[in-house]
Structure 1
Amino acid sequence: MNYIHKLLDEVEKAGTIIIHRHERPDPDALGSQLGLKEILTQAYPDKTVYAVGETEPSLSFLGEMDDILDDVYDGALVIVCDTANTDRISDKRYKNGATLIKIDHHPNEEPYGDIVWVDTNASSTSEMIVMLLDAAKERGLDLNSEAALLLYAGIVGDTGRFRYNNTTPQTMQLTSRLIEAGFDQNQFYSQLHKRDLKITRLEGYVLQHFEIVDGMVGVMKLTKEVMEQFDVTSSESSQLVNCFSDVEGLRTWVFFVEDDEKIRVRLRSRGPVINTIAQEHQGGGHPMAAGASAYSWEETDEVIQKLVLACKNEKSV
């Protein structure tokens, strides 16, 4: 809790607070960023709080980003949520503030910032923001329904709707606090699972064309041509990363998505540790969910073979 109180001391001193998160945001990145913004705005009406970064259209129902000028960073407190590495921070002006704070639940591969609060036992950075609330009751921080919905979205996203093994008793206890704050869960899930027709059509393509290697590793390669055929962006395709995950026998699965300059690698696992493989290919993440980059289709084949080996090593233990 010492990190939390140091963080809150900086918040109370700051007149301007700018909150960042990682590029290509998922629900936890946006939920923790916008949830924290809502909490601080409510608690400190005399302060100016911004949330910055690129827009993710599929998650626009969670909120919008602020467009701010460079000079706003002068003397500002900058907080980065849910981002293990500085390379992945959306909006590189994060370095221009007076003080930098990192709040994250990924392995602390790069401990950047003046204050680093990392908790790898938390299911999500959104869960950590609820923990922050619990530790700061005496400072006047409270939870309204809007912040509750945002943090709920983040926890739901990173726990796979409470199905992944990072869902702990603490996760459920803190989530109950969010539900008590009151928001429309049905409306939230309706928005979260809403898909464009083009994504649904691409899902059909993926289900027809994914491969299984050695009976344990699911593989899907989406080329630029396929993405153009379905008029889907690399970011939008991330909605489908788990669409064949329930196939019997799969221990790991991977999506390769060809982008402008590289091939994005999305790794998932039901047992074998995969973030070490991601780290070998300019990436990182959680033991069971990670991302990386490849620069040729030959390199993607290397990733597949490493996944096969990880599955075989798991069986031999």
Structure 2
Amino acid sequence: MKEQILQVIEQYEKIIIHRHVRPDPDALGSQGGLSAIIKASYPQKEVYVVGEEEAGLTFLNTMDVIEDEVYKGALVIICDTANSPRISDHRYSLGDYIIKIDHHPNEDPYGDLIWVDTEASSTSEMIMDLYHFGSSSGLKLDEHAARLIYAGIIGDTGRFLFSNTTQKTHHYTAALLETGFSPSEIHENLYKISEKLARLNGYVLQNFSIADNCVGYIHLTKDTLEEFGTSAGEASLLVNSFSHVEGLLAWVFFVDEPDQIRVRLRSKGPVVNKIAAKFNGGGHPRASGATVYTKDETLSVLAELRNLCKEYQAK
């Protein structure tokens, strides 16, 4: 599969790389890291990264603004996006050929060429795997690419604390560090929070609820976000605020947005991505996102999560 992907990349002079909406470090890291590798390896190619900006992550990479006609005759690569509705910038379909590179379950097999590896810690790790495979035939990894891929790996492994961290993850991380970028700069920027977000975190810790002694939940309303002066995107960063509370098996964050309610599901065992799929979302077995539109739907998500944890406990 890696050989096929590299062969297709070599065939196209224009390459446009997408990723999912509401990008996290892995989405930006895999997208930007792949772009940097291609640019360093094939300087004559036109390579673009597209999608909406995430204000708190522009220190990693910024997006290109391109016209529709750029897609004519272009190769489109979509990173870290399990479901086609979640692809940021739906012009991806205007391209000549589509490659999907992802580490989520392949429930929506879109694209002409699909590389899915659910064993990988992150899509960024897969991009490093692609580089490692092609390095003997001329692929180049510069400091910019390494910096982005590293950010993606630490984002999806929780700084190597999650169970998806493997020997390969550490092996590739060591190779990335050899390029000379500053990991401390990445950590400082990824994990710093503003005073207003710190105060909202205090609110979350005081007001989250626990159901059935194992399911944590909180709903951050528009009024609460306005009171603390934070956006829905910023508030969602606090999803793991109470994750270490004794007895919790899973938890859910509901965050109001102007026209919908963002749902973030997390777990220490129960598989939550099936719940997310029922509510316009998807993701990893233990970390998923979804979208609902009413208070009643939030209660339905919570009921599903409670039932899931009860079934998990009964096994």
Same structural fold, with TM-score higher than 0.5 when normalized by the shorter chain: yes
1:87 counterpart = 2:85? yes
Q: Within 5 Å, give how 1:1-317 maps onto structure 2.
A: 3-317=1-315
The one-character-per-residue Cα deviations of 1:106-126 (angstroms, maximum 9, x if unpaired) are 010111111111111101000
In 1, Cα distance between equivalents of 2:137 and 2:259 = 47
Matched residues in 1 for 2:96 and 2:249: separation? 45
Shift of 1:146: 1.4
Name the SS of the counterpart of 2:18 in structure 1: strand
Q: Specify the code of the residue in structure 1 equivalent to 2:276.
A: A
Of the structure 1 ranges 152-161 and 170-179, higher mean CA displacement relative to structure 2 is found in 170-179
Task: Identify which range, 180-189 or 107-116, moves more after superposition.
Answer: 180-189
- Length-normalised TM-score, structure 1: 0.97
Shift of 1:289: 0.3
Distance 1:303 1:29 in 2: 25
Instruction: Return the alpha-carbon distance in structure 2 between the equivalents of residues 307 and 160 of structure 1.
Output: 23
CA distance in 1, matches of 2:140, 2:40: 8
Post-superposition shift, 1:35?
Answer: 0.6
**Separation in 1, partners of 2:170, 2:223:** 43
Q: Secondary structure at the match of 1:41?
A: helix
* 1:259 aligned partner, one-letter code: E
Q: Secondary structure at the match of 1:61?
A: coil
Task: Tell me the amino acid that sits aligned with residue 240 of structure 2.
Answer: N
Name structure 2 gaps, 5 residues minimum.
none
State the Cα distance separating 1:309 from its structure 2 match: 1.6
Counterpart Cα distance in 1 of 2:227 and 2:65? 33
1:71-102 CA distances to partner (integer Å, 9 max, x unpaired)?
Answer: 11110111000001111111111111111110
Alignment partners' CA distance in 2, 1:84 and 1:182: 32
Give per-residue Cα distances to partners, 1:109-145, cap 9 Å, x unaligned: 1111111111111010000000001111233112122
For residues 277 and 181 of structure 2, the distance between their equivalents in structure 1, rounded to whole angstroms, comes to 39
Secondary structure of the structure 1 residue equivalent to 2:200: helix
What's the CA shift for 1:65? 0.6
Identity score, percent: 54
Letter in 2 for 1:306: E
User: 2:266 and 2:103 mapped to 1: Cα distance?
Assistant: 17
**In 2, Cα distance between equivalents of 1:44 and 1:314:** 50
**Structure 1 residue 180: deviation in Å?**
2.0
User: Matched residues in 2 for 1:114 and 1:138: separation?
Assistant: 26
One-letter identity of the residue aligned with 2:34: L
CA root-mean-square deviation? 1.0
Letter in 2 for 1:77: L
SS at match of 1:165: coil
CA displacement, residues 250-284 of structure 1 (integer Å, 9 cap, x when unaligned) = 11010001112221110000011111111111211
Between stretches 193-202 and 63-72, larger displacement belongs to 193-202
The unaligned stretches of length 5 or more in structure 1 are: none
How many equivalent residue pairs?
315
TM-score normalised per structure 2: 0.98
